[in-house]
């Protein structure tokens, strides 16, 4: 830098000089020299940048990248892309079912149920009517689970008295002999238990068989007890027979005593008159 020198001085880090130089030159932006007495500057690697007169390069922060050597700045990832790492030279597309709405994103957000997105999208799209999706879906080919049906773009529980299987677009009335007491019944309805009956479709409850009748499971109506037998309400059979000395007609809930002068064996449908020479 002056004439008559007895020695040469070293350039500081961030500067360099060529042979025979009288001054040091600062490294330009995008380059650096880490050591003193450098004869040249080195370009910053991918994913890094520097300002002028730098002794080192700075890593790009998350959400930004530097795609070429010697970068002077980092660039924000565009909407629909992200990077969660520092020192990145390229951003990554958000996968299908996710999105990033803003530039400089370090993560992607999930699409909610009823919406979808393709890879690299900056927003989610609402499924058309009659279609649905689970969360984080890349299309709208999702099916409603059993016990629900599609309404617009949402899955809604079937009302009591109806049921659905996976993927059904509507609910179906429970058949006669079955019922569904609560919303959201899946695949099949509950069978009517013995002693009860469900006479029509779409029922939310069952009816009790009256005394003098009975039913098995899944019944749509109750059956009268045979003559000579009886039952109480809600019976699954008419196993109780009238004892000797009583009788009952079809569909009876109790047995009736034979009148004076009449008699009967067990399980009788009527009493017989005593023959001449006998009495009761």
Taking the model in full, what pTM does it have?
A: 0.57
Q: Whose structure tokens read 């989610």?
A: 124
pLDDT in tens, 101-142: 999 999 999 999 889 999 999 999 998 877 888 899 999 887
73 versus 262: the higher-pLDDT residue is 73
Residue 196 · residue 208 · CB < 8 Å: yes
Give yes or no for residue 9 having a pLDDT over 80. yes
pLDDT in tens, 143-161: 788 999 888 888 899 999 9
- When pLDDT is cut at 50, 70 and 90, the band that residue 3 belongs to is low
In this prediction, residue 4 carries a pLDDT of 65
- When pLDDT is cut at 50, 70 and 90, the band that residue 2 belongs to is low
Give the mean model confidence (pLDDT) for residues 249-255.
80
Task: Report the mean per-residue pLDDT for the chain.
Answer: 91
Give yes or no for residue 275 having a pLDDT over 90. no
Give yes or no for residue 84 having a pLDDT over 70. yes
């Amino acid at each position: 830098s002056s004439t008559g020198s007895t020695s040469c001085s070293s350039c500081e880090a961030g500067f360099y000089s060529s042979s025979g130089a009288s001054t040091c030159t600062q490294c330009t932006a995008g380059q650096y020299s880490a050591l003193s007495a450098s004869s040249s500057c080195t370009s910053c690697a991918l994913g890094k940048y520097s300002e002028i007169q730098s002794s080192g390069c700075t890593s790009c922060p998350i959400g930004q990248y530097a795609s070429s050597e010697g970068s002077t700045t980092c660039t924000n990832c565009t909407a629909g892309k992200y990077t969660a790492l520092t020192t990145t030279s390229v951003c990554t597309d958000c996968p299908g079912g996710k999105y990033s709405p803003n530039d400089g994103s370090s993560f992607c957000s999930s699409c909610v149920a009823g919406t979808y997105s393709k890879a690299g999208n900056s927003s989610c799209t609402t499924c058309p009517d009659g279609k649905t999706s689970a969360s984080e879906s890349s299309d709208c080919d999702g099916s409603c689970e059993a016990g629900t049906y599609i309404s617009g773009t949402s899955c809604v529980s079937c009302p009591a008295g109806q049921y659905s299987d996976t993927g059904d677009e509507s609910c179906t009335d429970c058949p006669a002999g079955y019922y569904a007491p609560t919303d959201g019944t899946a695949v099949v309805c509950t069978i009517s238990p013995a002693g009860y009956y469900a006479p029509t479709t779409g029922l939310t409850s069952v009816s009790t068989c009256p005394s003098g009748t009975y039913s098995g499971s899944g019944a749509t109506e109750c059956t009268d007890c045979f003559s000579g037998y009886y039952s109480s309400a809600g019976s699954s059979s008419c196993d109780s027979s009238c004892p000797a000395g009583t009788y009952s007609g079809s569909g009876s809930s109790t047995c009736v005593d034979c009148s004076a002068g009449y008699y009967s064996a067990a399980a009788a449908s009527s009493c017989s008159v005593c023959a001449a020479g006998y009495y009761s």
